[in-house]
């Protein structure tokens, strides 16, 4: 789960990490009022969306008067900001963060991620901040510092100092940099974060080290023990299809194709999507109904898939072990009767109670295309989609 910049900064400030003074605004007038509360003569108006590269897309404006703040806020609020991270659909700007402008001497990159290979937290830092880490890796690969933390002892002072010296930070700021690095590590661990990034971490002309921008994302499997983090969720920033499914306990990832997929097991889901593409189609989603799926859960899955208006065929592919094919078949019939499925439906059932499941489908009287193998199911789904799309266009 991602959170907004202002939320990440608020969390980091609890660990003695310096952030600029700022305030939240939901209207142009409130933005100007926030600036008057902050004081000074230069402010930054920042669109709060779950995406980086906001500055290049016009989501960050430097202002030096109330008029400029109101003008910038008026242009951003209610608009969809499109960055290369949001995709062409963009993300809605519903709130702004107004903060004091800093006199910047130099910019640094600092990131904390989980490194699955070493099974440790990895710190990635660079003396070239202000760019995305991929750009830094390409333009100045030698500037990148990597260090891992032994989970048995946690991050040590000497590690933080080594990184600070490696970044070329002035001796007068080594203590501050060490405190910042250790604070980030502590916040990462305490909140079950999956990623923490400060970019840029700036050295100001006044001799301070300040987090000018911050991003944090969290392990959703651990949110049950971090309710105050879960409350920071902003559903307006998420794919509405995925939000609908997530709220109903379904594992769903939205894609750009036309063939909706309802499958049990992540591996089978991946294989099914591959087979659809080999057959010439494009999957519209990844949906794993999991093990022990009841008829009600199957019906919920149909509702989630059909919320995508691009879906023109549905493929149900079940290889039942823990699941039971007869339960899935009952769920399919329940969905057809209660939800309504206005597109072709292809069903492949294999495994536990397979014969009973196929009997339920055959005796239902519903218009269901049955397949016995994965390849046959993919071919029939693509064929049904092409026929449906052709009739729709005619």
Q: Which residues are catalytic?
A: 109, 197
Confirm if 359 and 328 have CB atoms less than 8 A apart: no
Task: Show the beta-strand stretches assigned E in the chain.
Answer: 22-25, 43-47, 60-63, 80-81, 91-92, 96-100, 104-115, 120-126, 144-149, 193-204, 209-211, 214-218, 251-254, 259-263, 285-288, 313-320, 345-351, 369-371
Here the tokens at position 298 are 């199957």
**Contact indicator for 315, 381 with CB cutoff of 8 Å:** yes
- Cα–Cα distance, 104 to 323 (Å, whole number): 59
* Residues found in the chain: 394
Pick from 109, 113, 111, 96: nearest CA to 44: 96
Give the whole-angstrom CA distance, residue 104 versus residue 126: 16
CB burial string 89-113: b at 16+ within 10 A, e below:
eebbbebbbbbbbbeeebbbbbbbb
- State how far the Cα of 60 lies from the Cα of 97, in Å rounded to an integer: 10
Q: What are the Cα distances from residue 392, in Å, to 201, 336, 341?
A: 54, 21, 15
What is the three-class DSSP state of 141? helix
Distances (CA, A) of 178 to 63, 76, 159, 344: 32, 37, 9, 60
């Amino acid at each position: 789960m991602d959170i907004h910049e202002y939320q990440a900064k608020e969390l980091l400030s609890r660990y003695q990490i310096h952030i600029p003074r700022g305030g939240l605004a939901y209207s142009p007038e409130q933005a100007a009022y926030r600036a008057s509360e902050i004081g000074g003569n230069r402010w930054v108006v920042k669109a709060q969306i779950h995406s980086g590269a906001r500055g290049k897309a016009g989501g960050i404006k430097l202002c030096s008067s109330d008029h400029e703040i109101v003008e910038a806020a008026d242009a951003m609020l209610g608009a969809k900001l499109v960055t290369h991270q949001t995709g062409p659909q963009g993300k809605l700007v519903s709130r702004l963060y107004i903060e004091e402008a800093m006199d910047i001497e130099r910019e640094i990159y600092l990131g904390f991620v989980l490194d699955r290979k070493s099974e440790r937290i990895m710190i990635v830092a660079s003396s070239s901040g202000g760019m995305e880490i991929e750009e830094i890796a390409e333009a100045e690969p030698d500037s990148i510092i990597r260090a891992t933390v032994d989970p048995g002892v946690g991050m040590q002072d000497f590690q933080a100092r080594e990184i600070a010296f490696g970044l070329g930070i002035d001796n007068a700021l080594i203590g501050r940099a060490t405190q910042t690095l250790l604070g980030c590590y502590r916040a990462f661990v305490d909140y079950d974060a999956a990623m923490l990034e400060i970019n840029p971490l700036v050295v100001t002309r006044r001799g301070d080290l300040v987090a000018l921008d911050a991003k944090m994302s969290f392990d959703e499997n651990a949110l049950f023990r971090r309710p105050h983090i879960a409350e920071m969720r902003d559903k307006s920033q998420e794919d509405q299809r995925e939000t609908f499914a997530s709220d109903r306990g379904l594992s769903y990832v939205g894609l750009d194709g036309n063939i909706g997929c309802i499958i049990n097991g992540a591996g089978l889901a991946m294989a099914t999507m591959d087979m659809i593409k080999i057959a010439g189609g494009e999957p519209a989603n990844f949906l794993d109904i999991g093990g022990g799926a009841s008829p009600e859960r199957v019906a919920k899955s149909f509702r989630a898939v059909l919320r995508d208006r691009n879906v023109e065929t549905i493929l149900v592919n079940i290889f039942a072990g823990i699941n039971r094919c007869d339960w899935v078949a009952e769920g399919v019939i329940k969905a057809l009767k209660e939800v309504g499925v206005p597109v072709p439906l292809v069903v492949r059932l294999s495994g536990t109670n397979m014969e009973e499941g196929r009997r339920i489908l055959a005796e239902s009287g519903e218009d269901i295309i049955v397949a016995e193998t994965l390849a046959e199911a993919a071919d029939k789904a693509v064929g049904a989609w092409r026929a449906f799309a052709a009739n729709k266009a005619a």
